[in-house]
């Protein structure tokens, strides 16, 4: 499913992405040919040039990087800031207002990032997350029981892929799962690229108020979950920071894994040979999870960094204050780094994919995500024999309109 | 072969423990890397190389020792 590439010595000027109007710089390519592949124009750009000038929806001009080596290098380069207050975004992003910022360490640079990250990291270590496996297995089993009790067909998004990571992160944080209808709606609005701006801001404000009230309640009566533990621990976190940490971890903790589970399931169901390879070997699940992370790259528009000083990149001068887009999907399909990059191969050895980012902001919850995906995929295909799509694959509604890619619904059936 | 960790750089992503759990652990205090051994046995060397490669912040490095019973320098590891 590779985009045909032009001959290396194309006589025409360097390929310009389709939507560029005369006199205007191109924007980030968004149109996919295949729902499981990145926009093919990205492959063209990656081949043609290491760094491209591009324009943002806010009218600003900046840069696009698509090659694996460059994306990793800039994500690990302290001259580029994770700022989300003033940086531009390749798709609509309503940047954080200053009052939203406390606790949101993904927008921070050292040393303030380091302070928060080191306070939180002990609660997300590899061994701690792996120790949650028995609890995740029970949660997965309960949802499979409910699916079997109701019988096919079913939409796996509300019945399996969303509730499992949502319940896990609620228990970890100490957020009442009973409130999920509200925060799922706020979270969905926050990640929408098409909802009216007022609706997005209202959802963010509602989640902010909700989390502050929860922090107040934990101050009065701290429990043993993460927010209560942080309140009891000897640290200097403010209530605003605790609220920000709660919002960040709640959204990041369920939206990402939920979409990987749903999109990964669709991928297995449309690649039966890969499903067979995944199910064929007892230790295949870990590699399969990594390959799905690489192949699907649900952070579909990549991430951005803001230059803190003028930096020379491949002979071009990135000026202080300019935004750089790092295309994670393009980097994860870079033939200079991956053999057969556009081929899904769940037996691939551990790879340096950038789906969790790279550098100091690499995903705090990645080890939890791995545990959840391994158990949920294994449980799903063991627990629902003959699992199949209940609609043609091209009728599954894709999340082109959301900051995090995936499917809106996943109608399936199985053998009772 | 000796493993070296630059503790100040570590942000506790946990990749090293994922790939070489016999050699690496994470501190209960701040989640940063703890070396369980500085000189991993031969059967761990390949896993340690993967861990070094996967570290997101270049925390880990390897110092090859001259007199080793098996030449490990330049062992072919696919960087796929």
Contact A367 B18 (CB under 8 A): yes
Which chain B residues are Cβ-neighbours of A120 within 8 angstroms? 31
For A14, counting Cβ atoms within 10 Å of its Cβ (0-12 exposed, 13-18 middle, 19+ buried), the class is: exposed
Residue A356 has what pLDDT?
98
Which chain A residues are Cβ-neighbours of B26 within 8 angstroms? 121-122, 125-127
Residue A24 has what pLDDT?
72
Which chain A residues are Cβ-neighbours of B28 within 8 angstroms? 122
Type and span of the H or E element at A284:
helix A284-296
Contact B18 A126 (CB under 8 A): yes
Q: For residues B1 and B45, give the distance between their C-alpha atoms in angstroms, rounded to a whole number.
A: 8
Other C-beta atoms closer than 10 Å to the C-beta of B62 total 17
Q: What is the pLDDT of residues A119-134, one digit of tens each?
A: 999 999 999 999 999 9
Other C-beta atoms closer than 10 Å to the C-beta of A398 total 17
Other C-beta atoms closer than 10 Å to the C-beta of A172 total 22
Other C-beta atoms closer than 10 Å to the C-beta of A94 total 12
pLDDT category at B67 given cuts 50, 70, 90 is low
Q: Tell me which of A105, A121, A131, A365 to substitute to probe the interface with B (most B C-beta atoms closer than 10 Å).
A: A121
Contact A305, A263 (CB under 8 A): no
Residue A350 has what pLDDT?
87
Q: Compute the half-sphere exposure of residue A265: CA atoms within 13 Å on the CB side of its CA.
A: 35
The residues near A302 (Cβ < 8 Å, ≥ 6 apart) are A71, A90, A325, A326, A327, A328, A329, A330, A331
Q: Compute the half-sphere exposure of residue A386: CA atoms within 13 Å on the CB side of its CA.
A: 8
Is residue B18 within 8 angstroms of chain A, CB to CB?
A: yes
Provide the ipTM: 0.88
Residue A7 has what pLDDT?
38
Nearest CA in chain B to A355: B56
Is residue A349 within 8 angstroms of chain B, CB to CB?
A: yes
Nearest CA in chain A to B12: A121
Q: Taking 80 as the threshold, does the pLDDT of residue B80 lie above it?
A: no
Is residue B53 within 8 angstroms of chain A, CB to CB?
A: yes
Sign of CA dihedral A44, A69, A62, A188: positive
CA distances, A149 to each of A101, A145, A152, A416, B1 (Å):
44, 6, 9, 10, 56
Q: For residues A404 and A140, give the distance between their C-alpha atoms in angstroms, rounded to a whole number.
A: 23
Residue B66 has what pLDDT?
60
Q: Which residues of chain A have pLDDT under 70?
A: 1-23
Question: Residue B14: which region, alpha, beta or left (left: phi > 0; alpha: psi -120 to 50)?
Answer: left
Contact A161, A410 (CB under 8 A): yes
Q: What is the pLDDT of residues A214-227, one digit of tens each?
A: 999 999 999 999 99
Is residue B35 within 8 angstroms of chain A, CB to CB?
A: no
Stated pTM of the model: 0.92
Residue A280 has what pLDDT?
85
Q: Which two tokens stand for residue A22?
A: 């005369």
Contact B13 A76 (CB under 8 A): no
């Amino acid at each position: 499913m590779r985009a045909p590439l032009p001959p290396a010595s194309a006589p025409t000027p360097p390929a310009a992405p389709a939507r560029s109007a005369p006199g205007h710089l191109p924007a980030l390519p968004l149109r996919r040919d295949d729902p499981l592949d990145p926009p093919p124009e990205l492959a063209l750009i990656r081949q043609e040039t290491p760094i491209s000038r591009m324009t943002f929806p806010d009218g600003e001009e900046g840069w696009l990087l698509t090659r694996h080596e460059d994306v990793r290098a800039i994500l690990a380069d302290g001259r580029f800031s994770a700022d989300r207050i003033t940086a531009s975004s390749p798709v609509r992003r309503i940047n954080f207002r200053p009052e939203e910022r406390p606790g949101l360490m993904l927008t921070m640079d050292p040393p303030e990032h380091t302070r928060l990250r080191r306070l939180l990291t002990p609660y997300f270590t590899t061994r701690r997350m792996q120790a949650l496996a028995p609890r995740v297995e029970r949660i997965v089993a309960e949802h499979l029981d409910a699916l079997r009790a109701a019988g096919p067909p079913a939409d796996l998004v509300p019945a399996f892929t969303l509730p499992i990571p949502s319940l896990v992160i609620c228990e970890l944080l100490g957020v009442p799962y009973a409130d999920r209808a509200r925060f799922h709606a706020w979270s969905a609005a926050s990640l929408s690229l098409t909802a009216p701006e007022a609706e997005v801001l209202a959802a963010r404000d509602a989640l902010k108020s909700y989390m502050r009230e929860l922090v107040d309640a934990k101050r009065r009566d701290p429990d043993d979950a993460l927010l209560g533990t942080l309140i009891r621990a000897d640290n200097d976190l403010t209530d605003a920071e605790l609220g920000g940490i709660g919002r960040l971890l709640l959204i990041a903790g369920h939206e990402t894994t939920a979409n990987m589970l749903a999109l990964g399931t669709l991928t297995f169901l449309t690649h039966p040979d890969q499903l067979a390879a995944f199910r064929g070997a007892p230790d295949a699940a870990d590699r399969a999870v990594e390959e799905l992370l690489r192949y699907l790259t649900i952070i579909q528009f990549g991430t951005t960094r803001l230059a803190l000083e003028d930096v020379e990149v491949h002979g071009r001068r990135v000026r202080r204050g300019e935004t750089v887009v790092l295309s994670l999907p393009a980097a994860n399909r870079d033939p200079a780094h991956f053999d057969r990059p556009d081929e899904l191969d769940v037996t691939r050895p551990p790879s340096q994919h950038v789906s969790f980012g790279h550098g100091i902001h690499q995903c705090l919850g990645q080890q939890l995500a791995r545990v959840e995906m391994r158990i949920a995929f294994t449980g799903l295909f063991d627990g629902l024999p003959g699992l199949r799509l209940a609609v043609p694959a091209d009728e599954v509604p894709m999340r082109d309109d959301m900051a995090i890619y995936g499917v809106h619904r996943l109608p399936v059936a199985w053998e009772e | 072969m000796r493993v070296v960790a630059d503790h100040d750089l570590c942000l506790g992503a946990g990749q090293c423990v994922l790939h070489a759990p016999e050699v690496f652990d994470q501190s209960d205090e701040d989640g940063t890397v703890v070396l369980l051994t500085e000189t991993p046995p031969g059967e761990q060397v390949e896993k340690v190389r993967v861990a070094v490669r996967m570290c997101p912040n270049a925390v880990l490095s390897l110092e090859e020792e001259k007199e080793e019973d098996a030449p490990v320098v330049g062992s072919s590891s696919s960087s796929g």
